[in-house]
Protein backbone atom coordinates (compact mmCIF):
# COMPACT_ATOMS: atom_id res chain seq x y z
CA UNK A 1 0.00 0.00 0.00
CA UNK A 2 1.32 3.42 -0.96
CA UNK A 3 2.34 5.77 1.83
CA UNK A 4 -0.27 8.38 2.76
CA UNK A 5 0.57 11.77 4.24
CA UNK A 6 -2.49 12.68 6.32
CA UNK A 7 -1.24 16.24 6.77
CA UNK A 8 -1.95 16.86 3.08
CA UNK A 9 -5.51 15.56 3.16
CA UNK A 10 -8.26 18.11 3.73
CA UNK A 11 -11.89 18.62 2.79
CA UNK A 12 -11.00 19.75 -0.74
CA UNK A 13 -8.98 16.55 -1.22
CA UNK A 14 -11.98 14.50 -0.14
CA UNK A 15 -14.35 16.34 -2.50
CA UNK A 16 -12.00 15.97 -5.47
CA UNK A 17 -11.34 12.28 -4.91
CA UNK A 18 -14.82 11.11 -3.93
CA UNK A 19 -17.31 13.22 -5.90
CA UNK A 20 -19.12 12.54 -8.08
CA UNK A 21 -19.46 9.09 -6.55
CA UNK A 22 -19.25 7.37 -9.94
CA UNK A 23 -16.34 9.49 -11.14
CA UNK A 24 -16.31 9.44 -14.95
CA UNK A 25 -17.45 5.80 -15.28
CA UNK A 26 -20.83 6.74 -16.78
CA UNK A 27 -19.34 9.50 -18.93
CA UNK A 28 -17.03 6.91 -20.47
CA UNK A 29 -19.82 4.38 -21.00
CA UNK A 30 -21.95 6.91 -22.82
CA UNK A 31 -19.04 8.11 -24.96
CA UNK A 32 -18.05 4.57 -25.92
CA UNK A 33 -21.57 3.40 -26.78
CA UNK A 34 -22.32 3.03 -30.48
CA UNK A 35 -26.05 2.74 -31.03
CA UNK A 36 -27.09 0.19 -33.67
CA UNK A 37 -29.56 1.14 -36.39
CA UNK A 38 -33.17 0.86 -35.32
CA UNK A 39 -32.39 1.27 -31.62
CA UNK A 40 -32.00 4.06 -29.07
CA UNK A 41 -30.02 4.07 -25.81
CA UNK A 42 -30.94 5.94 -22.64
CA UNK A 43 -29.31 6.45 -19.25
CA UNK A 44 -30.98 7.69 -16.05
CA UNK A 45 -28.96 10.59 -14.62
CA UNK A 46 -31.18 10.90 -11.46
CA UNK A 47 -34.34 12.92 -10.80
CA UNK A 48 -35.90 13.42 -14.27
CA UNK A 49 -32.51 13.61 -15.97
CA UNK A 50 -32.19 11.33 -19.00
CA UNK A 51 -29.39 11.02 -21.57
CA UNK A 52 -30.53 9.86 -25.02
CA UNK A 53 -28.14 8.58 -27.70
CA UNK A 54 -29.17 7.64 -31.25
CA UNK A 55 -27.75 5.72 -34.24
CA UNK A 56 -26.92 9.05 -35.87
CA UNK A 57 -24.73 9.92 -32.86
CA UNK A 58 -27.09 12.54 -31.45
CA UNK A 59 -26.43 13.13 -27.74
CA UNK A 60 -29.44 14.78 -26.12
CA UNK A 61 -30.14 15.30 -22.42
CA UNK A 62 -33.41 16.21 -20.75
CA UNK A 63 -33.39 17.87 -17.30
CA UNK A 64 -29.68 17.08 -16.79
CA UNK A 65 -29.17 18.33 -13.22
CA UNK A 66 -26.18 17.77 -10.91
CA UNK A 67 -26.89 19.76 -7.76
CA UNK A 68 -28.36 19.01 -4.33
CA UNK A 69 -31.13 20.14 -2.04
CA UNK A 70 -30.97 20.74 1.69
CA UNK A 71 -27.44 20.90 3.10
CA UNK A 72 -28.17 22.01 6.66
CA UNK A 73 -30.87 21.74 9.33
CA UNK A 74 -30.83 25.48 9.86
CA UNK A 75 -34.25 26.85 9.02
CA UNK A 76 -34.67 29.69 6.53
CA UNK A 77 -37.01 32.57 7.22
CA UNK A 78 -40.50 32.69 5.76
CA UNK A 79 -39.41 35.57 3.53
CA UNK A 80 -36.76 33.32 2.01
CA UNK A 81 -39.16 30.40 1.57
CA UNK A 82 -42.50 32.02 0.72
CA UNK A 83 -42.22 31.61 -3.06
CA UNK A 84 -41.18 27.94 -3.02
CA UNK A 85 -43.73 25.60 -4.47
CA UNK A 86 -44.64 23.46 -1.45
CA UNK A 87 -45.03 26.54 0.77
CA UNK A 88 -47.36 28.03 -1.85
CA UNK A 89 -49.18 24.72 -2.23
CA UNK A 90 -49.80 23.99 1.45
CA UNK A 91 -49.89 27.45 3.00
CA UNK A 92 -47.20 26.38 5.44
CA UNK A 93 -44.64 28.77 6.93
CA UNK A 94 -41.70 26.53 6.17
CA UNK A 95 -40.60 24.38 3.24
CA UNK A 96 -39.89 20.71 4.07
CA UNK A 97 -36.20 19.79 3.79
CA UNK A 98 -35.47 18.37 0.35
CA UNK A 99 -32.57 16.02 1.09
CA UNK A 100 -31.01 14.42 -2.00
CA UNK A 101 -31.12 10.62 -1.89
CA UNK A 102 -29.79 9.63 -5.34
CA UNK A 103 -26.01 9.53 -5.90
CA UNK A 104 -24.21 11.73 -8.41
CA UNK A 105 -23.58 9.25 -11.21
CA UNK A 106 -22.11 11.55 -13.87
CA UNK A 107 -19.47 14.27 -13.94
CA UNK A 108 -20.92 17.31 -15.74
CA UNK A 109 -17.46 18.78 -16.33
CA UNK A 110 -16.21 15.59 -18.02
CA UNK A 111 -18.86 15.79 -20.75
CA UNK A 112 -17.04 16.44 -24.01
CA UNK A 113 -19.79 15.89 -26.58
CA UNK A 114 -23.38 17.07 -26.31
CA UNK A 115 -25.78 18.22 -29.03
CA UNK A 116 -28.70 19.50 -26.97
CA UNK A 117 -29.52 20.36 -23.37
CA UNK A 118 -33.31 20.24 -22.91
CA UNK A 119 -35.16 21.54 -19.88
CA UNK A 120 -38.83 20.80 -19.25
CA UNK A 121 -39.54 23.68 -16.87
CA UNK A 122 -38.29 26.40 -14.55
CA UNK A 123 -37.88 24.51 -11.26
CA UNK A 124 -34.32 24.43 -10.03
CA UNK A 125 -33.95 20.63 -10.06
CA UNK A 126 -34.59 20.58 -13.82
CA UNK A 127 -32.19 23.25 -15.07
CA UNK A 128 -28.56 23.27 -13.92
CA UNK A 129 -25.86 25.95 -13.86
CA UNK A 130 -23.04 23.39 -13.74
CA UNK A 131 -24.33 21.50 -16.77
CA UNK A 132 -24.83 24.80 -18.60
CA UNK A 133 -21.34 26.08 -17.75
CA UNK A 134 -19.59 23.02 -19.14
CA UNK A 135 -21.91 22.63 -22.14
CA UNK A 136 -21.30 26.27 -23.05
CA UNK A 137 -17.50 26.09 -22.77
CA UNK A 138 -16.65 22.58 -23.89
CA UNK A 139 -19.39 21.43 -26.30
CA UNK A 140 -21.36 22.81 -29.25
CA UNK A 141 -24.65 22.07 -27.48
CA UNK A 142 -27.81 24.05 -28.06
CA UNK A 143 -30.11 24.85 -25.13
CA UNK A 144 -33.80 24.04 -25.72
CA UNK A 145 -36.70 24.81 -23.41
CA UNK A 146 -39.73 26.97 -22.75
CA UNK A 147 -39.51 30.77 -22.76
CA UNK A 148 -38.54 31.22 -19.12
CA UNK A 149 -35.88 28.48 -19.23
CA UNK A 150 -34.37 30.34 -22.17
CA UNK A 151 -34.39 33.49 -20.08
CA UNK A 152 -32.61 31.68 -17.23
CA UNK A 153 -29.87 30.42 -19.56
CA UNK A 154 -29.51 33.87 -21.08
CA UNK A 155 -29.16 35.41 -17.59
CA UNK A 156 -26.30 32.94 -16.95
CA UNK A 157 -24.47 34.11 -20.07
CA UNK A 158 -25.54 31.58 -22.71
CA UNK A 159 -25.58 33.44 -26.07
CA UNK A 160 -28.99 33.85 -27.69
CA UNK A 161 -27.75 32.08 -30.83
CA UNK A 162 -27.42 28.88 -28.80
CA UNK A 163 -30.85 29.12 -27.13
CA UNK A 164 -33.96 27.67 -28.78
CA UNK A 165 -37.15 28.75 -27.02
CA UNK A 166 -39.99 26.30 -27.64
CA UNK A 167 -43.73 26.47 -27.09
CA UNK A 168 -46.31 23.71 -27.59
CA UNK A 169 -46.59 22.92 -31.28
CA UNK A 170 -42.96 23.77 -32.08
CA UNK A 171 -40.40 21.20 -33.22
CA UNK A 172 -36.64 21.19 -33.76
CA UNK A 173 -34.42 18.77 -35.69
CA UNK A 174 -31.03 17.60 -34.35
CA UNK A 175 -29.17 15.09 -36.54
CA UNK A 176 -31.41 12.01 -36.87
CA UNK A 177 -33.80 13.14 -34.11
CA UNK A 178 -36.78 15.51 -34.04
CA UNK A 179 -37.90 17.14 -30.80
CA UNK A 180 -41.56 18.14 -30.40
CA UNK A 181 -42.73 20.48 -27.62
CA UNK A 182 -46.17 19.71 -26.19
CA UNK A 183 -48.39 21.17 -23.49
CA UNK A 184 -47.25 20.62 -19.92
CA UNK A 185 -49.65 19.71 -17.11
CA UNK A 186 -47.37 20.80 -14.25
CA UNK A 187 -49.74 22.63 -11.90
CA UNK A 188 -47.01 23.44 -9.39
CA UNK A 189 -45.13 25.39 -12.08
CA UNK A 190 -48.09 27.77 -12.13
CA UNK A 191 -47.79 28.62 -8.44
CA UNK A 192 -44.05 29.26 -8.57
CA UNK A 193 -43.21 32.84 -9.56
CA UNK A 194 -40.77 33.49 -12.40
CA UNK A 195 -37.11 33.90 -11.42
CA UNK A 196 -36.16 37.17 -9.75
CA UNK A 197 -35.67 39.93 -12.28
CA UNK A 198 -37.67 38.25 -15.02
CA UNK A 199 -39.91 40.76 -16.80
CA UNK A 200 -42.42 38.28 -18.11
CA UNK A 201 -44.33 37.77 -14.87
CA UNK A 202 -48.03 37.56 -15.62
CA UNK A 203 -51.23 37.09 -13.64
CA UNK A 204 -52.59 34.61 -14.41
CA UNK A 205 -49.30 32.94 -15.34
CA UNK A 206 -48.80 31.35 -18.75
CA UNK A 207 -47.99 27.63 -18.49
CA UNK A 208 -46.56 27.54 -22.01
CA UNK A 209 -43.83 30.01 -21.01
CA UNK A 210 -42.91 28.03 -17.91
CA UNK A 211 -43.08 24.37 -18.89
CA UNK A 212 -43.38 21.96 -21.81
CA UNK A 213 -43.48 18.20 -22.28
CA UNK A 214 -41.45 16.59 -25.05
CA UNK A 215 -41.79 13.87 -27.65
CA UNK A 216 -38.32 12.97 -28.91
CA UNK A 217 -38.58 11.01 -32.14
CA UNK A 218 -35.51 8.89 -32.86
CA UNK A 219 -34.84 6.15 -35.44
CA UNK A 220 -35.07 3.64 -32.59
CA UNK A 221 -38.35 4.81 -31.08
CA UNK A 222 -40.36 7.78 -29.83
CA UNK A 223 -39.73 8.94 -26.27
CA UNK A 224 -42.23 10.96 -24.21
CA UNK A 225 -40.80 13.02 -21.33
CA UNK A 226 -43.48 14.51 -19.08
CA UNK A 227 -41.21 16.65 -16.87
CA UNK A 228 -43.10 17.15 -13.60
CA UNK A 229 -46.55 17.05 -15.20
CA UNK A 230 -49.48 15.68 -13.24
CA UNK A 231 -52.27 13.52 -14.61
CA UNK A 232 -54.48 15.31 -17.14
CA UNK A 233 -56.92 14.52 -19.92
CA UNK A 234 -54.51 16.03 -22.45
CA UNK A 235 -52.29 12.93 -22.44
CA UNK A 236 -54.92 11.15 -24.54
CA UNK A 237 -54.57 13.84 -27.22
CA UNK A 238 -50.77 13.57 -27.13
CA UNK A 239 -50.97 9.80 -27.49
CA UNK A 240 -53.32 10.05 -30.45
CA UNK A 241 -51.09 12.55 -32.23
CA UNK A 242 -47.76 10.82 -31.56
CA UNK A 243 -46.94 7.10 -31.50
CA UNK A 244 -45.22 6.71 -28.10
CA UNK A 245 -42.81 3.88 -27.47
CA UNK A 246 -41.32 4.86 -24.08
CA UNK A 247 -42.80 7.35 -21.62
CA UNK A 248 -41.16 8.84 -18.53
CA UNK A 249 -43.44 9.94 -15.66
CA UNK A 250 -42.51 11.72 -12.40
CA UNK A 251 -43.82 9.27 -9.84
CA UNK A 252 -43.48 10.04 -6.12
CA UNK A 253 -45.00 10.04 -2.66
CA UNK A 254 -46.90 13.10 -1.46
CA UNK A 255 -47.03 14.30 2.14
CA UNK A 256 -50.21 15.68 3.76
CA UNK A 257 -51.60 18.66 1.90
CA UNK A 258 -49.26 18.14 -1.08
CA UNK A 259 -50.11 17.08 -4.64
CA UNK A 260 -46.71 17.70 -6.18
CA UNK A 261 -45.89 14.22 -7.49
CA UNK A 262 -47.90 11.75 -9.57
CA UNK A 263 -49.44 8.92 -7.54
CA UNK A 264 -48.96 5.28 -8.51
CA UNK A 265 -52.42 4.92 -10.06
CA UNK A 266 -52.12 8.15 -12.05
CA UNK A 267 -48.62 7.19 -13.22
CA UNK A 268 -50.16 4.10 -14.81
CA UNK A 269 -53.08 6.11 -16.19
CA UNK A 270 -50.67 8.47 -17.97
CA UNK A 271 -49.00 5.60 -19.82
CA UNK A 272 -52.42 4.10 -20.59
CA UNK A 273 -53.68 7.42 -21.99
CA UNK A 274 -50.55 7.87 -24.10
CA UNK A 275 -50.90 4.32 -25.46
CA UNK A 276 -47.21 3.94 -24.65
CA UNK A 277 -45.48 0.60 -25.14
CA UNK A 278 -43.20 1.01 -22.08
CA UNK A 279 -43.64 3.06 -18.89
CA UNK A 280 -40.56 4.08 -16.91
CA UNK A 281 -41.17 5.99 -13.63
CA UNK A 282 -38.59 8.60 -12.63
CA UNK A 283 -38.06 11.33 -9.98
CA UNK A 284 -39.09 9.09 -7.06
CA UNK A 285 -35.39 8.46 -6.42
CA UNK A 286 -34.39 12.03 -5.66
CA UNK A 287 -35.94 13.63 -2.56
CA UNK A 288 -36.30 12.01 0.87
CA UNK A 289 -39.61 13.84 1.35
CA UNK A 290 -41.08 12.27 -1.80
CA UNK A 291 -39.18 8.98 -1.98
CA UNK A 292 -41.50 6.16 -3.07
CA UNK A 293 -41.35 2.39 -3.48
CA UNK A 294 -41.82 1.44 -7.16
CA UNK A 295 -43.14 -1.95 -6.08
CA UNK A 296 -46.45 -0.18 -5.58
CA UNK A 297 -46.47 0.41 -9.33
CA UNK A 298 -45.58 -3.22 -9.98
CA UNK A 299 -48.54 -4.43 -7.87
CA UNK A 300 -51.04 -2.04 -9.47
CA UNK A 301 -49.76 -2.79 -12.96
CA UNK A 302 -50.20 -6.52 -12.37
CA UNK A 303 -53.67 -5.94 -10.89
CA UNK A 304 -54.74 -3.97 -13.98
CA UNK A 305 -52.92 -5.98 -16.65
CA UNK A 306 -56.23 -6.85 -18.33
CA UNK A 307 -56.59 -3.13 -19.13
CA UNK A 308 -53.06 -1.81 -19.32
CA UNK A 309 -51.16 -3.62 -22.06
CA UNK A 310 -47.95 -1.57 -21.81
CA UNK A 311 -44.78 -2.89 -20.19
CA UNK A 312 -43.50 -1.46 -16.89
CA UNK A 313 -39.75 -1.04 -16.44
CA UNK A 314 -38.26 -0.19 -13.03
CA UNK A 315 -34.94 1.59 -13.62
CA UNK A 316 -31.99 2.37 -11.35
CA UNK A 317 -29.99 5.59 -11.39
CA UNK A 318 -27.00 5.35 -13.73
CA UNK A 319 -28.56 2.41 -15.53
CA UNK A 320 -28.79 1.97 -19.28
CA UNK A 321 -32.01 1.18 -21.16
CA UNK A 322 -31.92 0.20 -24.84
CA UNK A 323 -35.14 0.24 -26.80
CA UNK A 324 -36.50 -2.06 -28.10
CA UNK A 325 -34.07 -4.65 -26.67
CA UNK A 326 -34.95 -4.07 -22.98
CA UNK A 327 -38.70 -3.49 -23.24
CA UNK A 328 -39.60 -6.88 -21.73
CA UNK A 329 -37.02 -6.96 -18.92
CA UNK A 330 -39.27 -5.35 -16.30
CA UNK A 331 -36.45 -4.36 -13.99
CA UNK A 332 -32.94 -2.98 -14.25
CA UNK A 333 -30.06 -4.82 -12.64
CA UNK A 334 -26.61 -3.32 -12.24
CA UNK A 335 -24.02 -5.42 -14.15
CA UNK A 336 -22.51 -8.25 -12.15
CA UNK A 337 -19.72 -8.96 -14.64
CA UNK A 338 -19.50 -11.54 -17.43
CA UNK A 339 -16.93 -13.72 -19.18
CA UNK A 340 -14.91 -10.61 -20.00
CA UNK A 341 -14.23 -10.10 -16.29
CA UNK A 342 -14.16 -13.72 -15.16
CA UNK A 343 -11.98 -15.36 -17.81
CA UNK A 344 -10.71 -18.85 -17.06
CA UNK A 345 -7.26 -18.77 -15.47
CA UNK A 346 -6.05 -22.39 -15.29
CA UNK A 347 -2.73 -21.42 -13.71
CA UNK A 348 -4.34 -19.74 -10.71
CA UNK A 349 -5.85 -22.49 -8.51
CA UNK A 350 -8.85 -21.78 -6.29
CA UNK A 351 -8.13 -21.88 -2.54
CA UNK A 352 -8.59 -25.39 -1.19
CA UNK A 353 -11.22 -24.30 1.35
CA UNK A 354 -13.52 -23.28 -1.58
If one counts the domains in the chain, the total is 1
Predicted local distance difference test score (pLDDT) of residue 77: 83
d(Cα 236, Cα 97) in Å, to the nearest integer?
35
Predicted local distance difference test score (pLDDT) of residue 349: 64
Q: Is residue 337 part of a domain?
A: no
Q: Is residue 261 part of a domain?
A: yes
- Compute the Cα dihedral for 22, 28, 30, 33 and give only its sign: negative
| Domain at 136, CATH number | 3.60.15.10
User: Which residues, given as ranges, of the chain have pLDDT below 50?
Assistant: 197-199
- The boundaries of the domain holding residue 113 are 35-323
Per-residue model confidence as pLDDT tens digits over 248-300: 999 999 888 788 899 999 999 999 999 999 999 999 999 888 899 999 999 99
Predicted local distance difference test score (pLDDT) of residue 89: 73
HEC profile of 284-312: CCCEHHHCCCCHHHHHHHHHCCCCCCCEE
Q: Is residue 11 part of a domain?
A: no
Q: Is residue 256 part of a domain?
A: yes
The partner residues of 323 in beta bridges, in order of sequence, read 40
- Residue 248: exposed, middle, or buried by beta-carbon count in 10 A (0-12, 13-18, 19+)? buried
- Alpha-carbon Rg for the chain in angstroms: 21
Predicted local distance difference test score (pLDDT) of residue 199: 47
Q: What are the start-end ranges of the E strands in 147-263?
A: 163-165, 171-174, 177-183, 212-218, 221-225, 246-250
Q: Are 268 and 279 in contact (CB under 8 A)?
A: yes
Q: Is residue 207 part of a domain?
A: yes
Q: Is residue 341 part of a domain?
A: no
Predicted local distance difference test score (pLDDT) of residue 139: 98
Per-residue model confidence as pLDDT tens digits over 196-253: 544 455 556 789 999 999 999 999 999 999 999 999 999 999 999 999 999 999 999 9
Q: Are 244 and 215 in contact (CB under 8 A)?
A: yes
Predicted local distance difference test score (pLDDT) of residue 188: 86
Q: Is residue 41 part of a domain?
A: yes
Q: Are 321 and 332 in contact (CB under 8 A)?
A: yes
Q: Is residue 176 part of a domain?
A: yes
Strand order in the sheet with 311-312: 171-174, 177-183, 212-218, 221-225, 246-250, 278-282, 311-312
Amino acid sequence: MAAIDLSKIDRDTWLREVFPEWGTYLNEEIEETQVPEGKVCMWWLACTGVWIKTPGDADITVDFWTQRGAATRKAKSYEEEKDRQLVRMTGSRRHPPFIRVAPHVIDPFAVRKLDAVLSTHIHSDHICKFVAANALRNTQSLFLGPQLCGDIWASWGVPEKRIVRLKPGDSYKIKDTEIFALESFDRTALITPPPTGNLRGKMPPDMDERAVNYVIKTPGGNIYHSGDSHFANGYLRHGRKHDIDVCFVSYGENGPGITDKVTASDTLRIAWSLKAKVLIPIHYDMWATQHADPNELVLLHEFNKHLMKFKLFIWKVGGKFTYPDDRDKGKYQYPKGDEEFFAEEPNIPFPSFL
